[in-house]
């Protein structure tokens, strides 16, 4: 039964004109890419969260952050590690410049540290949100591409009827079925992408909130240690 359904779909695809076949093929390729992006993004976010939690727990076990060895600043592949490295580097760079200019104060160092944290935070948020624009484009664009193929196919079907000067279900059905194939293809691409996008959007929002909370707690701890 499934074999016959697949065979019928293939037959309908072959009845499409070049425009319908191009649209259907494009949607099929987009579907494969979208599934790959969704699974890849989900795995990346899960791995990053595990690395973040492990790094944060390791920092909690340290008595001081400002005097940690250089090796702790080489974990920039981890979002939390990137924020930590930028914050500590900015703190000591501000201390060095402040001594040279005679303005070395805790407030001066903390201002540079907070600015560095904000820049690192924005950079990591962009990292979290990568590939989301592509999925959003698939979600919004696939149904319209399917609709375009359907309108084009129906127009071609009625054009063929006007040439043959006969209007029957036998002459109309093949063209209409071929036209509707693009609508089905558009929905098959868009529906899973909607659920995948919403799931990834919620995961991104949670990770960004955790990242902001970590940046805030890191700034507080550096401020307390600098007093």
Q: What is the pLDDT of residue 7?
A: 46
Between 106 and 19, name the one with better pLDDT. Answer: 19
Q: Which residue has the tokens 């149904």?
A: 143
Beta carbons of 210 and 75 less than 8 angstroms apart: no
Distance CA 58, CA 130 (A): 27
pTM score of the predicted model:
0.81
pLDDT level of residue 10 (50, 70, 90 thresholds): confident
Q: What is the pLDDT of residue 128?
A: 92
Distance CA 145, CA 148 (A): 5
**Number of helical (H) and strand (E) elements in the chain, helices listed first:** 6, 0
Q: For the chain, what is the mean pLDDT? A: 84
Distance CA 223, CA 109 (A): 9
Residue 204, φ and ψ in degrees, nearest 5:
-60, -45
Strands (E), the chain: none
pLDDT level of residue 6 (50, 70, 90 thresholds): very low
Q: pLDDT for 163-175, tens place per residue?
A: 666 555 666 666 6
Task: Give, as one character, the DSSP assignment of residue 225.
Answer: H
Distance CA 113, CA 110 (A): 5
For the chain, first and last CA: distance in Å? 75
* Token duo for residue 17: 């004109």
Choose among 80, 201, 191: nearest CA to 139: 191
Q: Which residue has the tokens 């494009």?
A: 26
CA 46 to centroid of chain Cα atoms:
13
Q: Which residue has the tokens 């036209």?
A: 179
Distance CA 74, CA 78 (A): 9
The percent of residues above 90 in pLDDT, for the chain, comes to 35
Between 6 and 133, name the one with better pLDDT. Answer: 133
Q: pLDDT for 114-155, tens place per residue?
A: 999 999 999 999 999 888 988 999 999 999 998 888 888 888
């Amino acid at each position: 039964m499934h074999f016959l359904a697949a065979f019928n779909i293939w037959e309908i695809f072959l009845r499409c004109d070049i425009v319908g076949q191009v649209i259907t093929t494009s949607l099929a390729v987009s579907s494969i890419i979208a599934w790959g992006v969704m699974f890849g993004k989900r795995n990346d976010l899960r791995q990053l969260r595990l690395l973040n939690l492990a790094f944060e727990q390791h920092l909690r076990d340290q008595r001081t952050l400002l005097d940690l060895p250089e090796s702790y600043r080489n974990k920039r592949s981890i979002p939390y590690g990137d924020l930590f490295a930028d914050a500590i580097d900015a703190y000591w760079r501000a201390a060095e410049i402040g001594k040279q200019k005679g303005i070395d104060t805790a407030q001066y160092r903390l201002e540079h540290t907070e600015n560095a944290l904000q820049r690192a935070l924005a950079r990591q948020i962009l990292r979290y949100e990568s590939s989301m624009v592509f999925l959003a484009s698939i979600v919004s664009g696939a149904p319209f591409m399917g609709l375009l193929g359907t309108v084009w196919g129906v127009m071609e079907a009625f054009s063929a009827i006007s040439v043959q000067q006969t209007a029957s279900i036998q002459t109309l059905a093949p063209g209409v079925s071929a036209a509707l194939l693009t609508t089905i293809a558009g929905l098959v691409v868009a529906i899973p992408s909607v659920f995948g996008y919403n799931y990834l959007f919620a995961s991104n929002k949670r990770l960004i909130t955790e990242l902001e909370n970590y940046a805030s707690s890191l700034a507080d701890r550096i401020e307390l240690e600098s007093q």
